[in-house]
A and B are shown apart, each in its own frame.
Chain A
Protein backbone atom coordinates (compact mmCIF):
# COMPACT_ATOMS: atom_id res chain seq x y z
CA UNK A 1 0.00 0.00 0.00
CA UNK A 2 1.29 3.45 -0.88
CA UNK A 3 1.08 5.97 1.89
CA UNK A 4 1.76 9.71 1.95
CA UNK A 5 1.23 12.20 4.71
CA UNK A 6 -0.34 15.56 4.11
CA UNK A 7 -2.60 18.26 5.48
CA UNK A 8 -6.22 18.77 4.60
CA UNK A 9 -6.47 21.97 2.54
CA UNK A 10 -10.08 21.85 1.38
CA UNK A 11 -13.29 20.00 2.22
CA UNK A 12 -16.33 20.00 -0.06
CA UNK A 13 -19.32 18.30 1.52
CA UNK A 14 -22.70 17.49 -0.01
CA UNK A 15 -25.07 15.26 1.94
CA UNK A 16 -23.17 12.22 3.17
CA UNK A 17 -20.28 12.58 0.74
CA UNK A 18 -17.20 14.77 0.94
CA UNK A 19 -14.34 15.43 -1.42
CA UNK A 20 -11.24 16.08 0.62
CA UNK A 21 -8.19 17.83 -0.84
CA UNK A 22 -4.90 16.99 0.80
CA UNK A 23 -1.74 19.00 0.24
CA UNK A 24 1.14 16.52 0.28
CA UNK A 25 3.86 19.06 -0.60
CA UNK A 26 4.00 22.28 -2.60
CA UNK A 27 3.77 20.38 -5.90
CA UNK A 28 1.38 17.54 -5.09
CA UNK A 29 -2.28 17.83 -4.15
CA UNK A 30 -4.47 14.73 -3.88
CA UNK A 31 -8.24 14.47 -3.76
CA UNK A 32 -10.28 11.73 -2.15
CA UNK A 33 -14.00 11.07 -1.97
CA UNK A 34 -15.32 9.56 1.25
CA UNK A 35 -18.74 8.59 2.65
CA UNK A 36 -18.09 10.81 5.66
CA UNK A 37 -18.55 14.44 6.60
CA UNK A 38 -16.69 16.59 9.15
CA UNK A 39 -19.65 15.78 11.45
CA UNK A 40 -19.29 11.99 11.24
CA UNK A 41 -15.49 11.83 11.21
CA UNK A 42 -13.70 14.05 13.67
CA UNK A 43 -10.40 13.98 11.79
CA UNK A 44 -11.90 15.78 8.79
CA UNK A 45 -10.97 19.35 9.46
CA UNK A 46 -8.79 21.86 7.65
CA UNK A 47 -5.04 21.62 8.33
CA UNK A 48 -5.32 18.29 10.14
CA UNK A 49 -2.46 15.98 9.26
CA UNK A 50 -3.68 12.70 7.79
CA UNK A 51 -2.31 9.84 5.72
CA UNK A 52 -3.56 9.05 2.23
CA UNK A 53 -3.48 5.40 1.28
CA UNK A 54 -3.93 3.70 -2.06
CA UNK A 55 -3.18 0.28 -3.40
CA UNK A 56 -0.35 -0.27 -5.89
CA UNK A 57 -2.76 -2.02 -8.25
CA UNK A 58 -4.96 1.10 -8.49
CA UNK A 59 -2.25 3.32 -9.95
CA UNK A 60 -2.34 4.09 -13.69
CA UNK A 61 0.91 5.00 -15.47
CA UNK A 62 0.94 7.46 -18.32
CA UNK A 63 4.00 8.39 -20.39
CA UNK A 64 2.29 11.45 -21.85
CA UNK A 65 2.83 14.16 -19.27
CA UNK A 66 0.13 16.48 -20.59
CA UNK A 67 -2.60 13.97 -21.35
CA UNK A 68 -6.12 14.98 -20.40
CA UNK A 69 -8.33 12.47 -18.58
CA UNK A 70 -11.04 12.31 -15.93
CA UNK A 71 -8.53 11.14 -13.35
CA UNK A 72 -8.08 13.96 -10.87
CA UNK A 73 -4.92 12.90 -9.07
CA UNK A 74 -1.58 12.87 -10.83
CA UNK A 75 1.93 12.58 -9.46
CA UNK A 76 5.05 13.12 -11.56
CA UNK A 77 7.87 10.68 -11.07
CA UNK A 78 10.92 8.92 -12.48
CA UNK A 79 11.15 5.16 -12.85
CA UNK A 80 13.66 3.84 -10.32
CA UNK A 81 13.31 0.12 -10.86
CA UNK A 82 11.15 -2.49 -12.59
CA UNK A 83 10.50 -5.98 -11.25
CA UNK A 84 9.09 -8.12 -14.02
CA UNK A 85 6.75 -11.03 -13.41
CA UNK A 86 4.99 -13.26 -15.94
CA UNK A 87 1.68 -11.39 -15.86
CA UNK A 88 2.19 -8.52 -13.44
CA UNK A 89 5.17 -6.29 -12.82
CA UNK A 90 6.11 -3.86 -10.13
CA UNK A 91 7.30 -0.41 -11.13
CA UNK A 92 8.91 1.80 -8.48
CA UNK A 93 8.84 5.56 -8.99
CA UNK A 94 10.75 8.32 -7.29
CA UNK A 95 8.46 11.34 -6.76
CA UNK A 96 8.82 14.61 -4.94
CA UNK A 97 6.76 13.11 -2.09
CA UNK A 98 8.81 9.96 -1.84
CA UNK A 99 8.74 6.49 -3.35
CA UNK A 100 5.60 5.25 -5.03
CA UNK A 101 4.98 1.69 -6.16
CA UNK A 102 2.62 0.57 -8.89
CA UNK A 103 1.65 -2.85 -10.11
CA UNK A 104 0.69 -3.00 -13.78
CA UNK A 105 0.53 -5.71 -16.41
CA UNK A 106 3.85 -6.86 -17.83
CA UNK A 107 2.42 -6.33 -21.34
CA UNK A 108 1.90 -2.62 -20.57
CA UNK A 109 5.60 -2.26 -19.75
CA UNK A 110 6.48 -3.62 -23.20
CA UNK A 111 3.77 -1.62 -25.01
CA UNK A 112 4.78 1.68 -23.38
CA UNK A 113 8.48 0.78 -23.53
CA UNK A 114 8.95 1.67 -19.84
CA UNK A 115 12.58 1.90 -18.77
CA UNK A 116 14.58 3.05 -15.78
CA UNK A 117 15.01 6.87 -15.61
CA UNK A 118 11.98 7.51 -17.80
CA UNK A 119 9.77 10.35 -16.59
CA UNK A 120 6.13 9.24 -16.16
CA UNK A 121 2.87 10.34 -14.52
CA UNK A 122 1.10 8.21 -11.92
CA UNK A 123 -2.68 8.65 -11.97
CA UNK A 124 -5.06 7.65 -9.17
CA UNK A 125 -8.86 8.02 -9.27
CA UNK A 126 -10.25 9.93 -6.30
CA UNK A 127 -12.46 7.03 -5.21
CA UNK A 128 -9.38 4.82 -4.77
CA UNK A 129 -7.76 6.98 -2.14
CA UNK A 130 -8.42 6.15 1.51
CA UNK A 131 -7.74 8.45 4.42
CA UNK A 132 -6.30 7.36 7.72
CA UNK A 133 -5.97 9.30 10.92
CA UNK A 134 -2.31 9.59 11.87
Chain B
Protein backbone atom coordinates (compact mmCIF):
# COMPACT_ATOMS: atom_id res chain seq x y z
CA UNK B 1 0.00 0.00 0.00
CA UNK B 2 1.14 3.52 -0.72
CA UNK B 3 0.36 6.08 1.96
CA UNK B 4 1.16 9.62 1.08
CA UNK B 5 0.57 12.53 3.41
CA UNK B 6 2.40 15.60 2.16
CA UNK B 7 2.37 19.35 2.06
CA UNK B 8 4.25 21.37 -0.49
CA UNK B 9 4.10 24.98 -1.55
CA UNK B 10 3.89 25.13 -5.33
CA UNK B 11 4.29 27.99 -7.73
CA UNK B 12 1.20 28.04 -9.92
CA UNK B 13 0.12 30.47 -12.60
CA UNK B 14 -2.00 32.43 -10.10
CA UNK B 15 0.74 32.68 -7.52
CA UNK B 16 1.47 30.36 -4.67
CA UNK B 17 -0.62 27.30 -3.89
CA UNK B 18 -0.37 24.86 -1.02
CA UNK B 19 -0.59 21.24 -2.09
CA UNK B 20 -1.92 19.31 0.89
CA UNK B 21 -2.74 15.69 0.16
CA UNK B 22 -3.46 12.54 2.10
CA UNK B 23 -3.84 9.60 -0.28
CA UNK B 24 -3.97 5.86 0.32
CA UNK B 25 -3.56 3.56 -2.61
CA UNK B 26 -3.98 -0.18 -2.24
CA UNK B 27 -1.54 -2.59 -3.79
CA UNK B 28 -2.57 -3.71 -7.26
CA UNK B 29 -4.98 -0.85 -7.84
CA UNK B 30 -5.02 1.39 -10.87
CA UNK B 31 -5.94 4.84 -9.64
CA UNK B 32 -6.35 8.15 -11.43
CA UNK B 33 -5.50 11.66 -10.31
CA UNK B 34 -8.09 13.88 -11.92
CA UNK B 35 -8.46 17.64 -11.92
CA UNK B 36 -7.72 20.79 -13.92
CA UNK B 37 -4.18 21.76 -14.94
CA UNK B 38 -1.99 23.22 -12.26
CA UNK B 39 -3.60 21.58 -9.21
CA UNK B 40 -0.51 19.58 -8.36
CA UNK B 41 -1.07 16.23 -10.07
CA UNK B 42 2.33 16.03 -11.74
CA UNK B 43 3.98 17.40 -8.59
CA UNK B 44 2.40 14.54 -6.64
CA UNK B 45 3.93 11.96 -8.97
CA UNK B 46 7.28 13.76 -8.82
CA UNK B 47 7.24 13.74 -5.03
CA UNK B 48 6.35 10.06 -4.95
CA UNK B 49 9.25 9.30 -7.28
CA UNK B 50 11.71 11.47 -5.37
CA UNK B 51 12.24 14.02 -8.14
CA UNK B 52 10.65 16.76 -6.05
CA UNK B 53 11.11 17.13 -2.33
CA UNK B 54 7.89 17.65 -0.35
CA UNK B 55 7.84 20.54 2.07
CA UNK B 56 6.61 18.35 4.87
CA UNK B 57 5.04 14.97 5.41
CA UNK B 58 5.45 11.22 5.12
CA UNK B 59 5.47 8.81 2.20
CA UNK B 60 5.45 5.10 2.98
CA UNK B 61 5.29 2.28 0.50
CA UNK B 62 4.57 -1.24 1.77
CA UNK B 63 5.70 -0.26 5.28
CA UNK B 64 9.00 1.21 4.07
CA UNK B 65 9.42 4.92 4.66
CA UNK B 66 10.50 6.72 1.50
CA UNK B 67 10.16 10.19 2.85
CA UNK B 68 9.66 11.63 6.30
CA UNK B 69 10.43 15.12 7.52
CA UNK B 70 10.22 13.94 11.14
CA UNK B 71 12.71 11.10 10.68
CA UNK B 72 14.74 13.09 8.15
CA UNK B 73 14.41 10.39 5.49
CA UNK B 74 14.42 11.18 1.79
CA UNK B 75 15.15 8.16 -0.34
CA UNK B 76 16.88 9.03 -3.62
CA UNK B 77 14.84 8.48 -6.80
CA UNK B 78 17.47 5.92 -7.83
CA UNK B 79 16.44 3.70 -4.92
CA UNK B 80 12.65 3.97 -5.12
CA UNK B 81 12.04 1.32 -7.79
CA UNK B 82 9.41 3.16 -9.72
CA UNK B 83 8.46 3.02 -13.37
CA UNK B 84 7.72 6.53 -14.63
CA UNK B 85 6.27 7.40 -18.02
CA UNK B 86 6.83 11.11 -18.59
CA UNK B 87 4.41 13.36 -20.41
CA UNK B 88 7.00 14.00 -23.14
CA UNK B 89 8.03 10.29 -23.12
CA UNK B 90 11.66 11.25 -22.24
CA UNK B 91 13.13 8.71 -24.66
CA UNK B 92 16.88 9.11 -25.13
CA UNK B 93 17.19 10.49 -28.65
CA UNK B 94 20.71 9.15 -29.24
CA UNK B 95 19.74 5.55 -28.50
CA UNK B 96 17.69 3.08 -30.53
CA UNK B 97 14.52 1.58 -29.07
CA UNK B 98 16.48 -1.48 -27.95
CA UNK B 99 19.28 0.64 -26.42
CA UNK B 100 16.69 2.72 -24.57
CA UNK B 101 15.35 -0.45 -22.98
CA UNK B 102 18.83 -1.83 -22.29
CA UNK B 103 19.87 1.40 -20.60
CA UNK B 104 17.15 0.81 -18.03
CA UNK B 105 18.57 -2.58 -16.96
CA UNK B 106 20.04 -2.93 -13.46
CA UNK B 107 23.74 -3.68 -13.30
CA UNK B 108 23.35 -7.44 -13.00
CA UNK B 109 19.89 -7.83 -14.48
CA UNK B 110 19.36 -10.45 -17.19
CA UNK B 111 18.17 -9.06 -20.48
CA UNK B 112 15.36 -11.58 -21.09
CA UNK B 113 12.83 -9.08 -19.69
CA UNK B 114 13.60 -6.89 -22.71
CA UNK B 115 12.70 -9.61 -25.18
CA UNK B 116 9.49 -10.18 -23.24
CA UNK B 117 8.55 -6.49 -23.19
CA UNK B 118 9.35 -6.04 -26.87
CA UNK B 119 6.93 -8.86 -27.61
CA UNK B 120 4.17 -7.67 -25.27
CA UNK B 121 4.32 -4.10 -26.56
CA UNK B 122 4.73 -5.27 -30.17
CA UNK B 123 7.97 -3.39 -30.63
CA UNK B 124 10.10 -6.12 -32.24
CA UNK B 125 9.91 -4.51 -35.67
CA UNK B 126 10.93 -1.13 -34.28
CA UNK B 127 13.80 -2.07 -31.99
CA UNK B 128 16.54 -0.69 -34.27
CA UNK B 129 14.79 2.65 -34.82
CA UNK B 130 15.72 5.94 -33.19
CA UNK B 131 12.93 7.71 -31.22
CA UNK B 132 12.64 10.64 -33.63
CA UNK B 133 11.57 8.28 -36.42
CA UNK B 134 8.65 6.92 -34.37
CA UNK B 135 5.03 8.08 -34.22
CA UNK B 136 3.54 9.36 -30.97
CA UNK B 137 1.83 6.07 -30.21
CA UNK B 138 5.00 4.08 -30.90
CA UNK B 139 7.04 6.38 -28.65
CA UNK B 140 4.49 5.90 -25.93
CA UNK B 141 4.79 2.12 -26.19
CA UNK B 142 8.58 2.37 -25.96
CA UNK B 143 8.32 4.66 -22.93
CA UNK B 144 5.90 2.24 -21.26
CA UNK B 145 8.13 -0.76 -22.01
CA UNK B 146 11.22 1.07 -20.77
CA UNK B 147 9.49 2.01 -17.51
CA UNK B 148 8.84 -1.68 -16.87
CA UNK B 149 12.35 -3.06 -17.55
CA UNK B 150 13.35 -2.85 -13.90
CA UNK B 151 10.17 -4.71 -12.89
CA UNK B 152 8.94 -1.90 -10.63
CA UNK B 153 6.04 -2.42 -8.27
CA UNK B 154 4.70 1.04 -8.93
CA UNK B 155 4.02 2.55 -12.33
CA UNK B 156 3.41 6.28 -12.70
CA UNK B 157 1.79 7.55 -15.90
CA UNK B 158 1.69 11.30 -16.43
CA UNK B 159 -1.05 11.98 -18.99
CA UNK B 160 0.35 9.23 -21.15
CA UNK B 161 -2.24 9.37 -23.89
CA UNK B 162 -3.28 13.00 -24.07
CA UNK B 163 -1.31 13.75 -27.24
CA UNK B 164 -2.65 10.80 -29.22
CA UNK B 165 -5.70 10.47 -31.44
CA UNK B 166 -8.64 8.43 -30.23
CA UNK B 167 -8.06 5.13 -32.08
CA UNK B 168 -4.44 4.86 -30.96
CA UNK B 169 -5.48 5.95 -27.49
CA UNK B 170 -7.94 3.06 -27.23
CA UNK B 171 -5.23 0.60 -28.27
CA UNK B 172 -2.73 1.99 -25.77
CA UNK B 173 -5.29 1.80 -22.99
CA UNK B 174 -5.40 -1.94 -23.68
CA UNK B 175 -1.60 -2.14 -23.38
CA UNK B 176 -1.71 -0.30 -20.06
CA UNK B 177 -4.37 -2.63 -18.70
CA UNK B 178 -2.44 -5.64 -19.96
CA UNK B 179 0.85 -4.76 -18.26
CA UNK B 180 -0.90 -3.52 -15.13
CA UNK B 181 -2.41 -6.99 -14.67
CA UNK B 182 0.51 -9.05 -15.96
CA UNK B 183 3.10 -7.47 -13.68
CA UNK B 184 0.68 -6.95 -10.72
CA UNK B 185 1.51 -3.26 -10.69
CA UNK B 186 0.14 -0.51 -8.55
CA UNK B 187 -0.47 2.14 -11.17
CA UNK B 188 -1.12 5.85 -10.75
CA UNK B 189 -2.44 7.62 -13.81
CA UNK B 190 -2.94 11.30 -14.48
CA UNK B 191 -5.75 11.80 -16.97
CA UNK B 192 -8.35 14.34 -18.07
CA UNK B 193 -10.22 11.90 -20.24
CA UNK B 194 -13.29 10.62 -18.43
CA UNK B 195 -13.81 7.78 -20.92
CA UNK B 196 -10.24 6.68 -20.35
CA UNK B 197 -10.60 6.88 -16.58
CA UNK B 198 -13.74 4.76 -16.79
CA UNK B 199 -12.04 2.12 -18.82
CA UNK B 200 -8.79 1.96 -16.87
CA UNK B 201 -9.13 2.91 -13.27
CA UNK B 202 -10.50 1.35 -10.11
CA UNK B 203 -10.46 4.54 -8.09
CA UNK B 204 -10.36 8.27 -8.80
CA UNK B 205 -8.90 11.07 -6.70
CA UNK B 206 -10.30 14.47 -7.66
CA UNK B 207 -7.88 17.30 -6.94
CA UNK B 208 -8.69 20.98 -6.84
CA UNK B 209 -6.45 23.86 -5.79
CA UNK B 210 -3.99 21.50 -4.16
CA UNK B 211 -6.60 19.60 -2.14
CA UNK B 212 -8.31 16.25 -2.48
CA UNK B 213 -11.97 17.20 -2.88
CA UNK B 214 -13.51 13.86 -3.79
CA UNK B 215 -12.58 10.21 -4.22
CA UNK B 216 -14.42 7.12 -5.34
CA UNK B 217 -15.00 4.73 -8.19
CA UNK B 218 -15.27 6.44 -11.60
CA UNK B 219 -19.07 6.08 -11.67
CA UNK B 220 -19.45 7.47 -8.17
CA UNK B 221 -17.30 10.44 -9.05
CA UNK B 222 -18.45 11.25 -12.53
CA UNK B 223 -22.08 10.45 -13.11
CA UNK B 224 -24.25 8.89 -10.50
CA UNK B 225 -25.51 12.16 -9.06
CA UNK B 226 -25.91 14.19 -12.18
CA UNK B 227 -28.87 12.66 -14.01
CA UNK B 228 -31.34 9.98 -12.93
CA UNK B 229 -31.07 8.11 -16.23
CA UNK B 230 -30.00 4.52 -15.77
CA UNK B 231 -28.79 4.00 -19.33
CA UNK B 232 -25.72 6.17 -19.15
CA UNK B 233 -22.37 6.24 -20.90
CA UNK B 234 -19.57 8.70 -21.47
CA UNK B 235 -18.32 9.16 -24.98
CA UNK B 236 -16.65 11.45 -27.42
CA UNK B 237 -18.45 13.30 -30.21
CA UNK B 238 -17.31 12.19 -33.66
CA UNK B 239 -19.58 14.34 -35.83
CA UNK B 240 -22.72 16.48 -35.82
CA UNK B 241 -24.92 16.66 -38.92
CA UNK B 242 -28.11 18.63 -39.51
CA UNK B 243 -31.09 16.65 -40.71
CA UNK B 244 -34.41 18.52 -41.15
CA UNK B 245 -35.08 20.36 -37.89
CA UNK B 246 -32.92 18.01 -35.81
CA UNK B 247 -29.26 17.07 -35.62
CA UNK B 248 -27.71 13.62 -35.74
CA UNK B 249 -24.80 13.38 -33.33
CA UNK B 250 -22.39 10.45 -33.69
CA UNK B 251 -20.74 9.53 -30.41
CA UNK B 252 -17.90 7.09 -29.82
CA UNK B 253 -18.63 5.09 -26.68
CA UNK B 254 -15.71 2.78 -25.92
CA UNK B 255 -15.23 1.33 -29.38
CA UNK B 256 -18.82 1.59 -30.65
CA UNK B 257 -20.30 4.54 -32.47
CA UNK B 258 -23.89 5.39 -31.55
CA UNK B 259 -26.22 7.97 -33.10
CA UNK B 260 -28.28 10.33 -31.01
CA UNK B 261 -30.93 12.78 -32.20
CA UNK B 262 -30.40 16.22 -30.71
CA UNK B 263 -31.90 19.63 -31.03
CA UNK B 264 -30.21 22.88 -31.96
CA UNK B 265 -30.03 24.24 -28.42
CA UNK B 266 -28.41 21.01 -27.20
CA UNK B 267 -25.54 21.06 -29.67
CA UNK B 268 -24.75 24.75 -29.43
CA UNK B 269 -21.66 24.30 -27.26
CA UNK B 270 -20.68 20.92 -28.64
CA UNK B 271 -18.24 19.89 -31.32
CA UNK B 272 -16.26 16.85 -32.43
CA UNK B 273 -13.84 15.71 -29.74
CA UNK B 274 -15.99 16.89 -26.84
CA UNK B 275 -16.66 14.46 -24.02
CA UNK B 276 -20.34 13.93 -23.30
CA UNK B 277 -22.68 11.84 -21.24
CA UNK B 278 -25.30 9.96 -23.20
CA UNK B 279 -28.26 9.14 -20.97
CA UNK B 280 -31.65 7.66 -21.38
CA UNK B 281 -34.30 6.35 -19.02
CA UNK B 282 -34.03 2.69 -18.11
CA UNK B 283 -37.49 2.30 -19.64
CA UNK B 284 -36.48 2.98 -23.22
CA UNK B 285 -33.85 0.43 -24.34
CA UNK B 286 -35.00 -2.92 -25.64
CA UNK B 287 -33.08 -6.12 -25.05
CA UNK B 288 -32.51 -8.85 -27.62
CA UNK B 289 -30.59 -12.02 -26.96
CA UNK B 290 -27.61 -12.64 -29.24
CA UNK B 291 -27.80 -16.03 -30.97
Contacts and interface: CB of A to CB of B under 8 A. Distances in A.
Interface of A: 1, 32-36, 41-43, 53, 55-57, 83-90, 101, 103, 127-133
A108 to B, nearest CB: 13
Interface in B214-270: 225-230, 244-246, 261, 263, 265-266
Given A88-B245, A131-B228, A33 B261 contact: no
A130 B263 contact: no
A56 B227 contact: no
Chain B facing A: main interface SS: loop
B246 A33 contact: no
B266 A1 contact: yes
Interface residues of B, number: 18
Interface stretch (B43-51, B93-101, B275-283): B275-283
A33 B283 contact: yes
Nearest to A20: B228
A1 B245 contact: no
Contacts of B284: 127
A42 B228 CA distance: 11
Given A85-B245, A103-B263, A128-B281, 9 more contacts: A1-B263, A1-B266, A35-B230, A57-B246, A57-B261, A88-B244, A90-B245, A90-B263, A130-B279
A21 B226 CA distance: 19
Contact of B263 (A41, A56, A89, A128): A56
Contacts of B227: 53, 130-132
A86 B245 CA distance: 9
Contacts of A90: 245, 263
A55 B227 CA distance: 14
A88 B266 contact: no
Contacts of B244: 85-89
Contacts of A43: 225
10 nearest A-B pairs in the assembled complex, by CB-CB distance: A85-B244, A127-B283, A90-B245, A131-B228, A85-B245, A88-B244, A34-B228, A35-B282, A132-B227, A35-B230
Contact of B245 (A36, A103, A130, A132): A103
B216 to A, nearest CB: 14
Nearest to A85: B244
A119 B246 CA distance: 24
B258 to A, nearest CB: 15
A77 B224 CA distance: 34
12 contacts: A1-B263, A1-B266, A35-B282, A42-B225, A43-B225, A56-B263, A85-B244, A86-B244, A127-B281, A130-B227, A130-B281, A133-B225
